[in-house]
């Protein structure tokens, strides 16, 4: 009898990997889109899950954030956009995903994400968290800084897609005070 590796049809089937990239995406930035593009290459399917976070007061409604993501990712293969409430691990399990995708910009991000990943592992041992380093040109971006720049009338071309910039400009036009001064977040 010859020695070797014998494969059955069932053992040669690839395991489909569904990953979930959760976040508030308020608004979606070029940094988020960079992580999404790279995440699609790492998984058979990537679900971008927009969170309803009661601890944050988003500038954009959930529906607006979903619309911005759909506009910015139009045509990307193997990508789904959805929403969730509650704990990320519960949403990931409900989606039958095996991976949580997270972007890391700085050491401070890593410390926070590492703590969340370990907590998630205790809550759902079958889930893995994959950290993707931000590309250098996006490593400084944050939604908070982009909103502040928009509120002060700054140039947003390097930070967000044109459709998102248009929505930001419209939001802050509505929020101007009686003397024309922008309100700060």
pTM: 0.85
pLDDT per position as a tens digit, 96-155: 999 999 999 989 899 999 999 999 999 999 999 999 999 999 999 999 999 999 999 999
Q: Of 117, 68, 55, 62, nearest to 88 (Cα)?
A: 117
Q: What is the mean pLDDT of residues 56-83?
A: 95
- The CATH number of the structural domain formed by 16-139 is 3.40.50.620
Helix ranges restricted to H, 12-87: 30-42, 62-72
Domain limits, the chain: 16-139
Active site residues: 32, 56, 105, 143
pLDDT of residue 6: 39
pLDDT per position as a tens digit, 33-59: 999 999 999 999 999 999 997 677 899
């Amino acid at each position: 009898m010859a020695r070797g590796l014998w494969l059955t049809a069932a053992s040669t089937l690839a395991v489909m990997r569904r990953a979930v990239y959760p976040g508030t995406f308020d608004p979606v930035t070029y940094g988020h889109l960079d992580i999404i593009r790279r995440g699609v290459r790492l998984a058979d399917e990537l679900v971008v899950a927009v969170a309803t976070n009661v601890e944050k007061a988003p500038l954009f409604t959930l529906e607006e954030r979903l619309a911005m993501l759909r506009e910015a990712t139009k045509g990307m293969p193997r990508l789904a956009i959805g929403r969730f409430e509650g704990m990320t691990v519960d949403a990931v399990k409900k989606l039958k995903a095996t991976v949580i995708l997270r972007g890391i910009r700085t050491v401070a991000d890593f410390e926070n994400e590492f703590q969340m990943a370990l907590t998630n592992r205790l809550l759902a041992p079958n889930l893995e968290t994959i950290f993707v380093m931000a590309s250098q040109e996006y490593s400084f971006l944050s939604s908070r800084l982009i909103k502040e720049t928009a509120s002060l009338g700054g140039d947003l071309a390097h930070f967000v897609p044109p459709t998102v910039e248009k929505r930001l400009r419209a939001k802050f036009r509505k929020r101007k005070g009686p003397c024309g001064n922008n309100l700060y977040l």
